[in-house]
Amino acid sequence: MTYQPQKDFGTPASNASDTVSLSIDGREISVPAGTSVMRAAAELDNNIPKLCATDNVKSFGSCRLCLIEIEGRKGTPASCTTPVEDGMVVKTQTPHLQKLRKGVMELYISDHPLDCLTCSANNDCELQDQAANVGLRDLRYGYEGANHLGEATDTSNPYFDFDPSKCIACSRCVRACDEVQGTFALTMDGRGFASKISAGLPTDDFLSSECVSCGACVEACPTATLQEKAVTEIGKPDRTEITTCAYCGVGCTFRAEMRGEQLVRMVPWKDGKANRGHSCVKGRFAWGYANHQDRITKPMIRESIDQPWREVSWDEALGHAASEIKRIQKKYGRLSVGGITSSRCTNEETFLVQKLVRAGFGNNNVDTCARVCHSPTGYGLNTTFGTSAGTQDFDSVEESDVILVIGANPTDAHPVFASRMKKRLRGIDGKPPAKLIVIDPRRIDLVKSPHIEASHHLPLQPGTNVAVLTAMAHVIVTEGLADEAFIRERCDWDEYAEWAAFVADDRHAPETLEPVTRVPSEELRAAARLFATGGNGAIYYGLGVTEHSQGSSTVMAIANLAMATGNIGRPGVGVNPLRGQNNVQGACDMGSFPHELSGYRHVSDATTRALFEDDWGVPIDSEPGLRIPNMLDAAVDGEFKALYVQGEDILQSDPNTKHVSAGLAAMECVIVHDLFLNETANYAHIFLPGSTFLEKNGTFTNAERRIQLVNKVMTPVNGMEDWEVTQALANAMGLGWRYSHPSEIMDEIARLTPTFAGVNFARLKEAGSLQWPVNEAAPDGSPIMHVDGFVRGKGQFVVTDYVPTDEKTGPRFPLLLTTGRILSHYNVGAQTRRTENTSWHPEDLLEMHPTDAENRGLKDGDWTRLSSRSGETTLRLTVTERVAPGVVYTTFHHPATQANVVTTDFSDWATNCPEYKVTAVQVAASNGPTDWQEEYEELSEQARRIETVEAAE
């Protein structure tokens, strides 16, 4: 089928449940009340000509093209702004309407270049289509009058151009920026003939403006005014495939628009239930890494890491890997090897890696990058609710009255969901805005941004989450605001009573804890009252909750708060972990943790083991295996000797880089399976080239537990999808696997995992996506969990005592460093650093409060030395009031900075999730890179050498 853009119904769908019947051009139709006549007609495939209307934004009624006639009414109303009424009789095409439309089009075209044949939007242009639809044949006005032709194109954005001479001033881009993205960067400047789209001040271009490059304006533009550079360069796509983004845990679905095997553009899919037609700069534009020159496409081996890499055949690489693992197990024991699954790979790939470890290596030494991000979520929510996952779908936010965001920065890290949250916080569609509480050491963008202001921002001292949440619980219990009816029905009353007595103690009063948390007690009390009494209360949290020495306690404290206020089990409420990577949820579900099999069942459970043992025909070890930090400890001790790492860069992402490198250096065989020679590969002996999400089939599971298909759109440049590589490695070890498609792996997962019992590729394709559990009790999946009761039976209140971290500030290290992400980059930056996203963020920067900077004689842009008890690095300073005095902040996207040289070994008490968010540091002026940075750069250069083979004569 030839290329078709996704159907545009002109105005948004109505959610009303009552329907209205009307007649359009003699055809009857029933639609929800509140639907526009334009949309009702589009449902009948009667596409009324339009320019300023598009179904992602509210109707505007400015282009005067969508006029209709209604029996018994005077005039020609605009169909986009006219709601349907019972018994309405509509005509969309009459001689009168035709004449009006032609007149309107004449005016538009008289100020529009007629370069259709060479225009980048040729044959994919709504203006062109409408000129055709209204039968425009000639212009009475000529082209000589005043016009906007020949204006300069703004090419500053690396992904799209803005050509004002093709603009028809429909303002769809401005409205998309406002309504969909919520950034309010664009505006319609001037009036009448002088109207023009502006990205901010007259001095601003798109790149320097507040534009976040989400692409909503480009998507909304009906002409070539806002056009992807890739379309300009390549041409119009000719086929599309729906697939799922491989960046963050929001899990946006896209139409990959292709020409042959060349990706032309990624367009957000309007039917995607996670993103509802929206996107961010990463998913929409930052896919160029797939074809980056740094991609390694051939397997490589070397004896030791001081040697250059040698390209070999797949057979040689896999045979060598298998024999090394066998040799090492024979020499050092069965438990001396392990593997790490990737939260960036598919469920099927992750499942195979843990199967390889459990069935092939014969132990449970498998872990995943969730160890360093959301392992406390698994522990905390499993303990309190009985399931290791968030309770809601993203749509739920539309029903929330109070939104509590703690330790998360959604506008940077989960931008598409943030846009949906911001929509609710602006209160459009007649609903009053939801109230917002932000608990974060930094004044994140959500605290105050256009048309949004948090009711309460509690800028706590890093490391005091449990103290703040306990103080909030204190207020709720002592002021009688707890929802006792809910608690009596859903939870164990005795456990609640014990918890309530604990939090009610005076030592947990906000006033008592204020010196520790540094949160003004009155503000905290007001926030607690608002959350308990403000209607539907929803909690959203991120790694600022989990990456602490009390990460698991904080997750349980959040769960306690939700149960105490009755905010579980219906739309608009719940506990919502915002997952970091695209498939963190899935990797955890698939049995990537060393203590549990898929579906969160402990390896000590004989019944579960028997299920797998019967299916796989091998015994499963009943003892938990090593977690990543424990693997590294064991390696330094000489007891852990080989590691297979799929799609994770532990050297850059894990804390205390020096300890990680010591562990890796102590191993005899490190197998890295990745797209690039990442930092971990500096210590590897075998490199297996990986494939991108564009080159594979499978599924990802997002933060809503939503399982979505990933569809292959191009052939893997390395020759194999990642699941095929793992299968080939397993078979080199003699396991005899015979999967011919990932759907067969999913069938095995469904067979062995009760919460996935009803999942298969055919159903996923049919339904678009499914939220687990999908089983007999919930055949269509579970958008909201714990509806009629908690999965574990009764919700469990857990006493969470505040235990301060052992990472203390003092005279040598007086500041607290906390780390995080920025919008344009993703995790260690392996992908985004290989795209034009570096235009926004070429290096990691250190944020510091003006007072702290002045005390140190530092100014904006200075090179500074950041040191902790673990190590030191240098980076440039940004002076900003976003951070409180005493707190500094940086990102960890760039290997040259290696922010994790500075972070420590401290970790969550229950899961060993590292304490990235609290490191005592000192900052001073610097005149150059640290010794570590210089040594590491030298090592990287050495370690990345690839032997060039002389061509045969």
Residues that bind other proteins (CB under 8 A): 333-335, 364-365, 502, 549-550, 553, 594-595, 602, 604, 622-627, 630, 633-634, 636-637, 639, 799, 801, 803, 905, 909-912
- Whose CA is closest to 407, among 368, 453, 463, 452? 463
CA distance 870 to 920: 10
SS3 595: coil
- The residue (of 363 and 536) whose beta carbon lies closer to other proteins is 363
Chain centroid, CA 550 distance in Å: 24
Nearer to other proteins, 139 or 636 (CB): 636
Quote the tokens at residue 462.
């890093």
Asked if residues 215 and 268 have their Cβ atoms less than 8 Å apart, the reply is yes
473: closest CA among 523, 529, 518? 529
Minimum gap (Å) between residue 625 Cβ and other proteins = 5
Q: CB of 625 within 8 A of CB of 366?
A: yes
Q: Which long-range contacts (CB under 8 A, 24 or more apart) does 11-16 make?
A: 11/35, 11/36, 11/38, 11/39, 11/53, 11/55, 11/58, 11/59, 11/80, 12/39, 12/55, 12/56, 12/57, 12/58, 13/39, 13/55, 14/39
Smallest separation (angstroms) from other proteins to the CB of 456 = 28
Nearer to other proteins, 448 or 507 (CB): 507
Helix (H, G, I), strand (E, B) or coil at 887: strand
- Whichever of 308 and 638 has its CB closer to other proteins, that residue is 638
Is 952 in a helix, a strand, or coil? coil
Region for 390 from its dihedrals, namely left if φ exceeds 0, alpha if ψ lies in -120 to 50, beta otherwise: beta
Task: Considering the complex, state which of residue 360 and residue 895 has its C-beta at the smaller distance from other proteins.
Answer: 360
**Residue 7 C-beta: closest distance to other proteins, Å:** 51
In total, the chain counts a number of residues equal to 953
Work out how close the CB of 325 gets to other proteins at its nearest, in angstroms, rounded to a whole number: 16
At closest approach, how far in Å is the CB of 377 from other proteins? Answer: 15
Query: Considering beta carbons, is residue 610 or 803 the nearer one to other proteins?
Result: 803
Are 670 and 683 in contact by the 8 Å Cβ rule? The answer is yes
In whole angstroms, the minimum distance from the beta carbon of 230 to other proteins comes to 48
Distance CA(113)–CA(669), nearest Å, equals 63
Rounded least distance, CB 917 to other proteins, Å: 17
We find the least distance from the C-beta atom of residue 576 to other proteins, in angstroms, to be 24
Least separation in angstroms between CB 380 and other proteins = 12
Residue with Cβ nearer other proteins (550 or 878): 550
**Residue placing its CB nearer to other proteins in the complex, 98 or 604:** 604
Shortest reach from residue 364's CB to other proteins, in Å: 8
**Secondary structure string (H, E, C) spanning 633-646:** HHHHCCCCCEEEEE
Beta strands in 128-261 (DSSP E): 160-162, 187-189, 196-198, 226-228, 239-244, 253-259
Find tokens 């209205």 and name the residue: 20
Closest CA to 24 of 70, 59, 75, 78: 70
CA 669 to CA 660: how far, in whole Å? 15
CA dist 881 and 890 (Å) reads 14
Q: Considering only CA atoms, which of 371, 372, 805, 377 is closest in space to residue 556? A: 377
Counting Cα atoms < 13 Å in the Cβ hemisphere of 840 gives: 26
- The residue among 11 and 470 lying less far from other proteins, judged by its C-beta, is 470
User: Which CB atom, from 368 or from 874, has the smaller least distance to other proteins?
Assistant: 368
Least distance from other proteins to the Cβ atom of residue 620, Å: 13
Tokens for 684, please give them. Answer: 């590897």
Nearest CB to other proteins, comparing residues 115 and 801: 801
Q: What angle do CA 490, 493, 496 make, to 5 degrees?
A: 100
For the CB of residue 17, give the shortest distance to other proteins in the complex, in Å: 48
Give dist(CA 900, CA 779) in Å, integer: 44
The nearer residue to other proteins, 228 or 621, going by C-beta atoms, is 621
- SS3 state at 795: strand
Is 377 or 760 the residue whose CB approaches other proteins more closely? 377
Asked if 246 and 149 count as a contact pair (C-beta separation under 8 A), the reply is: no
Q: What's the DSSP call for residue 376?
A: H
Task: Give φ, ψ of 252 to 5 degrees.
Answer: -70, 145
Q: How far is the CB of 555 from other proteins (least distance, A)?
A: 13
Instruction: Tell me: cis bond preceding 783? Omega within 30 of 0 counts.
Output: no
Q: How far is the CB of 592 from other proteins (least distance, A)?
A: 14
Nearer of residues 616 and 909 to other proteins, judged by Cβ: 909
The 3-state DSSP class for residue 717 equals: coil
Shortest reach from residue 633's CB to other proteins, in Å: 4
Smaller CB separation from other proteins, 73 or 334: 334
Strand-pair partners of 815: 921
